[in-house]
A and B are shown apart, each in its own frame.
Chain A
Amino acid sequence: MRDFLKKPAVQTVIASLVCVVVGMLIGYIVLLIINPSGAGKAILAVLKNFMNYNRTNLKIRNLGNTIVKTAPLLMCALSVLFSYKVGLFNIGASGQYCAGACISLYAALKWNLGWFPCLILAILAGAVLGSIVGCLKSYYNVNEVISGIMLNWIMLYGTNAILTTVKEPTTPYTYHLTDKAPQAILPTLGLGKLFAGNKYIGIAVPLSILAAVLVKIILDKTKFGYELKATGFNRNAAKYCGMAEKRNIILSLVISGALAGCGAALLYLAGYEEWQCSLASVPAMGFNGIAATFLGGLNPIGTIFASFFIQHITTGGSHVDLSMYCSQISELISSLIIYLCGFVLFIKFTLNKVLDRQNGKNGGKN
């Protein structure tokens, strides 16, 4: 039994589940405090998400919607994960995500480019942004969290300003891609049929999963991954043995940025959402990516499931009965659960400590 519990993969799964349960408990308590009569129903509504719908068709179609939004979240999570392996905290994923959204929508609506060039431009935009943070970090030792957060705000307002030129005259939203730029819509590959005709689901889903697998391979199997992880674990040792740690830091942030930028394009080019040019806060996608990274136990494959769960909760929040709670409640509950998701490493650490202590006791008996 102990050997089973000592396996890192098993520990990650256990720790992730503990976090999710504790998060829901706290969410439940908060709901109880605000309005005891509706708490049970509300937390169930969050958890059920697409299962809240009555008809099977609607259930499946809405599951599809959750999956559509999982793809960009997964890309953001991979972005955070990739730089984390080099010992950097890419809190700038949100800004890189904005940059990707900005350039892909602008290229689609203003320049009428097809989906592929739009996607590539989004990747490049994220990469450029990542390189700024990376260069500042490696040449001037500017903390990547600070410069990342600053760039987040710059990119948010920059995106708002630029996309105002392609927005509907009467609403704060950009034009529908289906009306104005159908050539930029991502190929659906007929995947919609699997989800009761959901027309948004498409190439984004397999692409993001492919990205996760690629990240896994790069980190585990290649020389580049070996260097990156060595730099992340011990920068001094990496320097000592002649690795180009400065180049590695920049490169890892460039790739991180590219992943986040690509994520934005995967959402906006699906036509599922339009950019709201009056946004006063950075899209939550990049921050939720941090939670998904940790909930997934810092493993690219685990991140796939963690991203789905977090998107599931986030979308589920919109099903809370608003006659009993104020409209912010859905975000409050999902963010509580997401916050707790960050404690996976802590739970793992505690679990290990308990196991070691038991081990010590048994050793005494022998």
Chain B
Amino acid sequence: MNVPYAVEMLNITKKFPGIIANDNISLQLKHGEIHALLGENGAGKSTLMSVLFGLYQPEEGEIRKDGKPVKINDPNDANALGIGMVHQHFKLVECFTVLDNIIMGVEPVKHGILQKEEARKKIKKLSDKYGLAVDPDAKIEDITVGMQQRTEILKMLYRENEILIFDEPTAVLTPQEIDELMQIMKNLVKEGKSILFISHKLNEIMAVADRCTVLRKGKYIGTVETKNTSIEELSSMMVGRNVSFHVEKKTQTPGETVLEVRNVTVGSKSHHGDSVKNVSFNVRRGEIVCIAGIDGNGQTELVYGITGLEPLKEGTLTLCGKDITKASIRERNIIGMSHIPEDRHKHGLVLDYTLEDNLILERYFTEEFTDKAGFLKRDNIRKYAERLIDQYDIRSGQGPVTTARSMSGGNQQKAIIGREMDKQPELLVAVQPTRGIDVGAIEYIHKQLVQERDKGKAVLLVSLELDEVMDVPDRILVMYEGEIVGEFDPKKTTQEELGLYMAGAKRMEVKV
């Protein structure tokens, strides 16, 4: 009991206009432990970590390092105290080597000349010690995401940080890479480092963390030892009620083909090759087909091709029997395609428009909303928006006239889902529809997808979340480097098997 905590955050309160992001939250990190910070989106995890990292100043509370109160005004202070962070989106220079990235900002110099050999030795020593295998001379753009993450970890170790914060580190990794990361984290604490691990994936927390602090809606809920708790207990602490993780759906036989993708090739914007290579598959009525794979294996481009955001280089598309290979986006919409886009801020919403103006984005031109002279029918727009808000439970500060930007991520997504489903599409293309959304809303969205399927619509789901891939669809297609390398029945496969195909270790012939 006399050993002081590595880091203590005591009674931290941080307010933003109209919201208390952190309400009297305390967090104590012991030396040499892995401490998980669990909470839904908007629970205040990121705010709390930003306070620790010096990006925000709390209104109340204090931070102690090894028992002594400290003031952290900016990230430089945090670094000086030995606090390092691996951000969810890596902060690496793509065209630099691993070594250059690691020493950036703390370059060893003698008389103004870089001493790379010295740095190389130090990095070699560190990577041997912790089992972080990387090639220091490889360029970041050429190595895998897992390698990039190791580079970020080495960056912290090179700076001799004692307290390591991992912000959702497994989101971008394959199951195999996740296992490796877990091992690395265990090695790190064995050598005396302390780790704060931000996550909302319960099984990972159970597997690797010693203790877990749970936040909900800005409030501290409790800290538990993982060996004395269960996934069910953690999840009800996080959400405040019991959540069903399994998606209920009846078996049904799919009907006729709605979408036919044949030999589709889509070029790449970032390199000379093709992002999607000769892909063919069908989506039929009453089935959910899921494209699984690790981020960046051509899923985004495939969806762009199908929805018309990018032209196809080769191949054909047929929707409801009509050739849509060269059809405009609006033509595809009218034939019966709805699209829940991957990036709701980039494509899904006009953030500076009001909620009602966003809800009519794809039908403002119809007779219902525009008169013959080209004037908008504001009354009808209001009525329509109010109906969707009611039906899809879209919550916002001022109802239809709320600016989309000021809405929470979950409600923005609900607005998009409401808009897309209300079109009564024949085909629903949903790309990572639950990304960055809290558990309660995820459950709701999954139910909506299944409901569409039960109504006899075709659903094409693209997902990076393995739990979603296993639970929601009727059929899984795995994409690797722009090709479909496997087709699975979710009932007859395992996450591990999918992982091998997603990582390119195995592949099979897939016939349409």
Q: What is A's interface to B at a CB cutoff of 8 Å?
A: 221-224, 226-227, 229-230, 233-234, 236-243, 356, 359-360, 363-364
Please indicate the chain B residues that have their CB under 8 angstroms from the CB of A356 in the complex: 17
B347 touches A236 (CB 8 A): yes
Among A237, A241, A360, the residue within 8 A (CB) of B15 is A360
- From the candidates A221, A229, A242, name the one contacting B362 in the complex (CB within 8 A): A242
Which residues of A have CB within 8 Å of B307? 240
CB of B375 within 8 A of CB of A222, answer yes
Is B329 in contact with A242, judged by CB distance below 8 angstroms? yes
B residues whose Cβ falls under 8 Å from a Cβ of A: 15-18, 59, 307, 309, 328-330, 332-333, 339, 341, 346-353, 357, 361-362, 364-365, 370, 374-376
Beyond A230-B353, A364-B59, whether A223 also contacts B309 by CB under 8 A is no
> Do B376 and A221 have beta carbons less than 8 Å apart?
yes
With A223-B364, A223-B370, A360-B17 known to touch, is A237 a contact of B352 (CB < 8 Å)? no
Query: What's the minimum C-beta distance from A365 to chain B, rounded to whole angstroms?
Result: 11
Tell me the nearest residue of chain B to A357, going by C-beta.
B17
A241, B349: Cα distance in complex, Å: 9
Interface on chain A toward B: helix, strand, loop, or mixed SS? helix
What B residues does A243 contact at CB under 8 A?
330
**New A-B contacts (7) at CB < 8 Å, excluding given A222-B375, A237-B346, A240-B329:** A221-B376, A222-B374, A230-B357, A234-B350, A240-B341, A241-B362, A242-B330
Shortest Cβ distance from A243 into chain B, in angstroms? 8
A233-B353, A363-B15, A363-B18 are known contacts. Are A240 and B376 too (CB-CB below 8 A)? no
Interchain Cβ contacts under 8 Å between A and B, 11 examples: A230-B361, A233-B350, A233-B351, A236-B347, A237-B347, A240-B307, A240-B339, A240-B347, A241-B329, A241-B362, A363-B15
**A-B pair number, CB within 8 angstroms:** 71
Shortest Cβ distance from B369 into A: residue: A223
**Is B375 a contact partner of A223 (Cβ separation < 8 A)?**
yes
Closest 9 pairs (CB-CB, A-B): A242-B330, A242-B329, A240-B347, A241-B361, A223-B370, A233-B352, A234-B350, A241-B362, A233-B350
A236–B59 Cα gap in the complex (Å)?
39
In the complex the two chains form, what is the Cα distance from A243 to B329 in whole Å?
A: 8
**What's the minimum C-beta distance from B350 to chain A, rounded to whole angstroms?**
5
From residue A297, how far is it (CB to closest CB) to chain B in Å? Answer: 15
Which residues of A lie under 8 Å from residue B341 when comparing CB positions?
Answer: 240
Q: Check A226 against B17 for contact (C-beta < 8 Å).
A: no
Q: How far is the CB of B406 from chain A (nearest CB, A)?
A: 12
User: Least Cβ distance of B334 to chain A in Å?
Assistant: 9
Identify which of A229, A238, A363 gathers the most chain B CB atoms within 10 Å of its CB. A363
Q: How far is the CB of A364 from chain B (nearest CB, A)?
A: 6
A226-B357 in contact (CB<8A): yes
A240 with B375: CB separation less than 8 A: no
User: Chain B residues with Cβ under 8 A from A233's Cβ?
Assistant: 350-353
B347 nearest CB neighbor, chain A only: A240
Shortest Cβ distance from A220 into B: residue: B376
**In the complex, how many angstroms separate the beta carbon of A298 from the nearest chain B beta carbon?**
12
Closest Cβ of chain B to A80, distance in Å, is: 19
Docked Cα-Cα span, A227 to B330, in Å, equals: 14
Report the minimum CB–CB distance from B378 to chain A (whole Å): 8
CA distance A360 to B352 in the complex (A): 23
Cα of A239 to Cα of B362 in the assembled complex, Å? 11
Once the chains bind, are B18 and A239 in contact (CB under 8 Å)?
Answer: no
Contact across chains for B17 and A237 when beta carbons are under 8 A apart = no
Cβ A239 vs Cβ B15 within 8 A: no
Question: Which of A222, A224, A234, A363 meets B17, CB within 8 Å?
Answer: A363
Chain B residues with CB below 8 A from A223, complex form? 364-365, 370, 374-376
Q: Given A234-B350, A234-B351, answer yes or no on A226-B364 (Cβ-Cβ < 8 Å).
A: yes
Complex Cα distance, B350 from A331, in Å, reads 41
Chain B min CB distance to A219 (Å):
11
Q: Across the interface, name the chain A residue whose C-beta is closest to B341.
A: A240
Which residue of chain A lies nearest to B419 when distances are taken between CB atoms in the complex?
A241
| B365/A360 in contact, CB under 8 A | no
> What is the CA–CA distance of A243 and B360 in the complex, to the nearest angstrom?
12
Give Cα distance in the complex from A243 to B350, angstroms. Answer: 13
The CA-CA distance from A222 to B376 in the complex, in Å, is 5
B351 touches A224 (CB 8 A): no
A234's nearest neighbour on chain B, judged by CB, is B350
A364 to B328, CA, bound (A): 52
B350 lies within 8 A of A230 (CB): yes
B374 near A237: Cβ-Cβ < 8 Å:
no
| Distance from A276 Cβ to chain B, minimum over Cβ atoms (Å) | 42
B349 neighbours in A (Cβ, 8 Å): 234, 237
* CB-contact partner of A239 in B329, B332, B351, B352, under 8 A: B329
Cα A227 to Cα B362 with chains together (Å) = 11
- Docked complex Cα distance between A238 and B375 (Å): 19
CB distance from A91 to the nearest CB of B (A): 23
Chain A residues closer than 8 Å to B374, beta-carbon distance: 222-224
Docked Cα-Cα span, A237 to B353, in Å, equals: 11
Cα of A110 to Cα of B346 in the assembled complex, Å: 53
Asked if A236 and B346 sit within 8 Å, CB to CB, the answer is: yes
Q: Nearest chain A CB to B355's CB is how many angstroms away?
A: 14
The smallest beta-carbon distance between B42 and chain A, in angstroms, is 18
Decide yes or no: A364 and B376 within 8 Å by CB, A240-B348, A241-B362, A242-B329 being known contacts.
no
A242–B17 touching, CB < 8 Å: no
Beta-carbon nearest neighbor of A359 in chain B: B17
CB <8 Å contact, B309 and A240: yes
A363 to B15, CA, bound (A): 8
Complex CA gap A223/B370 in Å reads 7
Q: How far is the CB of B239 from chain A (nearest CB, A)?
A: 27
Given the contacts A360-B15, A363-B18, A242 and B333 also touching, CB distance less than 8 Å: yes
Bound-state Cα–Cα, A242 to B307, Å: 10
**Bound-complex Cα distance A223 to B381 (A):** 12
Q: Whose C-beta in chain B lies nearest to the C-beta of A223?
A: B370
A237 B364 Cβ-Cβ under 8 A: no
**Closest B residue to A360 using CB positions:** B17
Write out the residue numbers on chain B whose beta carbons fall within 8 Å of the beta carbon of A360: 15-17
Point out the residues of chain B lying under 8 angstroms from A236, CB to CB: 346-347
CA A234 – CA B346 in complex, angstroms? Answer: 7
**Residue numbers in B under 8 Å from A227 (CB-CB):** 364
Query: Contacts A224-B374, A241-B361, A242-B333 known; A364 to B353 CB distance under 8 Å?
Result: no
- In the complex, A238 Cα to B17 Cα: how many Å? 31
Inter-chain contact A226/B15, CB cutoff 8 Å: no
In contact, B376 and A237 (Cβ under 8 angstroms): no
**Which single residue of chain B is at the shortest CB-CB distance from A224?**
B374
- Chain B nearest CB from A366 CB (Å) reads 10
User: How many whole Å from A351's CB to the nearest CB in chain B?
Assistant: 15
Most chain B beta carbons < 10 A, residue from A222, A223, A240, A359: A240
- CB of A83, distance to nearest CB on chain B (Å): 17
* Docked CA distance A236–B348 (Å): 9
Q: How far is the CB of B321 from chain A (nearest CB, A)?
A: 21
Per the bound structure, the CA–CA distance linking A356 and B370 in Å amounts to: 37
Q: Once bound together, how far apart are the Cα atoms of A336 and B361, in whole Å?
A: 42
Contacts of A363 in B (CB 8 A): 15, 17-18
User: Which A residues touch B347, using CB under 8 A?
Assistant: 236-237, 239-240
A164 to B376, CA, bound (A): 49
Beta-carbon nearest neighbor of B371 in chain A: A223
